[in-house]
Amino acid sequence: MMSRPQSLIDGEAPDSQHAKSNRGSKVTEETVALVVFSIFLAAALIVIYRLSFDKIRTNEELENLEHQKMKCEETLSKIKPCSTVQPTYPVPKVINDPCYKCEEGWEQHGGKCYYFSINKSSWKQSRDECRAKGGDLVKIDSREEQTFLERRLKDVMNEAEDKFWIGLTDSAVEGRWVWADGSPLNERLQFWSRDEPDNWTGTDGEHPDGEDCVGMGEKGGAKDLKCWFDAFCSKPHRSICEKAAVKGQCVCV
């Protein structure tokens, strides 16, 4: 006796089962396609976001560079340009700030030139020699100038008694100290050594007019820059001459 197919036993036709199988496969393929599409869509969104972020960051960097460029141009516009000379290598440029120059044998400091004599002579002869060189005996106008001279003399003095005349005297009126140019001594700019000035007249009073001219110098250095002393104007000493430095234009490289 022939047996019935299971599908007939279950009361379901073979065609119906085949159709249901096809529908299941179709649903599975659509699901897979949807998942794949979603993945591609998500990846595309990520790429678009990344490109947008990179563009924003690039724009910000460009704005920052443009801002820096404007600041540099503004700074350069405030710099005083150098007037150029004939180019060499390296190319020199002349700036408008003054340069101070001194003749050979003179030392430049600030806007002045100084000459430290080698020969010894009286105060008056020393002044005449300075004037013949276009200057005069030094006039000390500031503590800074006294500092320069006091330290410089330590180098040029050969021995402790190697003193230097400066342009200060009270030969006209005793006790009224004036500079060679006639200006009075500033009471706040006095650098007398201890017990000076003493207007000594000599052991036997051979110099009744006393000591009317001023010198300076301490070989070992002076405490608080105090190294002035009065002396007989006829005594031979070295001297310090000064004159204004010549202004010129500096060449910067």
For residue 183, give the CATH number of its domain.
3.10.100.10
pLDDT of residue 185: 97
Number of independent structural domains in the chain: 2
pLDDT of residue 63: 74
Backbone φ/ψ region at 46: left (φ over 0), alpha (ψ -120 to 50), beta: alpha
pLDDT of residue 23: 61
Please check whether residues 103 and 219 belong to one and the same domain. yes
pLDDT category at 253 given cuts 50, 70, 90 is very low
Please state which of the ranges 62-66, 86-90, 116-120 shows the lowest mean pLDDT.
86-90
Please, which contacts does 129-133 make with residues 24 or more away whose CB atoms are closer than 8 Å?
A: 129/239, 129/241, 130/239, 130/241, 130/242, 133/241, 133/243
pLDDT category at 18 given cuts 50, 70, 90 is low
Please check whether residues 117 and 236 belong to one and the same domain. yes
Please check whether residues 47 and 111 belong to one and the same domain. no
Please, which contacts does 59-67 make with residues 24 or more away whose CB atoms are closer than 8 Å?
A: none
Please check whether residues 108 and 134 belong to one and the same domain. yes
Q: Is residue 69 part of a domain?
A: yes
Please check whether residues 129 and 158 belong to one and the same domain. yes
Higher pLDDT, 90 or 199: 199
Q: Is residue 178 part of a domain?
A: yes
139-181 per-position pLDDT tens digit: 999 999 999 999 999 999 999 999 999 999 999 999 999 999 9
Q: Which domain holds residue 133?
A: 94-250
pLDDT of residue 17: 55
Q: Is residue 85 part of a domain?
A: no
pLDDT of residue 204: 82
Please check whether residues 66 and 119 belong to one and the same domain. no
For the segment 204-231, the average pLDDT, to the nearest whole number, is: 93
Q: Which residues of 15-54 are buried (b: 16+ CB within 10 A; e: fewer)?
A: eeeeeeeeeeeeeeeeeeeeeeeeeeeeeeeeeeeeeeee
Q: How far apart are CA 168 and CA 176, in angstroms?
A: 10
29-77 per-position pLDDT tens digit: 778 778 888 887 888 788 787 777 777 877 778 777 777 777 766 666 5
Q: Is residue 13 part of a domain?
A: yes
Residue 73 tokens, joined: 């141009």
Phi, psi of 250 (to 5 degrees): -85, 145
pLDDT of residue 225: 96
pLDDT of residue 205: 80
Q: Is residue 247 predicted with pLDDT exceeding 90?
A: no
Please check whether residues 98 and 34 belong to one and the same domain. no
Q: Is residue 182 part of a domain?
A: yes
Please check whether residues 112 and 205 belong to one and the same domain. yes
Higher pLDDT, 40 or 21: 40
Q: Is residue 83 part of a domain?
A: no
Please check whether residues 103 and 71 belong to one and the same domain. no
Q: How far apart are CA 237 and CA 215, in angstroms?
A: 8
94-106 per-position pLDDT tens digit: 444 567 899 999 9
pLDDT category at 87 given cuts 50, 70, 90 is very low
Q: Is residue 86 part of a domain?
A: no
Please check whether residues 72 and 149 belong to one and the same domain. no
pLDDT, averaged across the chain: 82
Please check whether residues 73 and 120 belong to one and the same domain. no
Half-sphere exposure of 163 (CA within 13 A, CB side): 21
Boundary (domain end) residue, out of 78, 107, 134: 78
Please check whether residues 69 and 116 belong to one and the same domain. no
115 within 8 A of 228, measured Cβ to Cβ: no
Boundary (domain end) residue, out of 51, 78, 105: 78
pLDDT category at 206 given cuts 50, 70, 90 is confident
Q: Is residue 12 part of a domain?
A: yes
Please state which of the ranges 40-49, 97-106, 182-191, 227-236 shows the lowest mean pLDDT.
40-49
Residue 201 tokens, joined: 């007249």
Q: pTM (2 decimals)?
A: 0.60
Boundary (domain end) residue, out of 44, 78, 112: 78
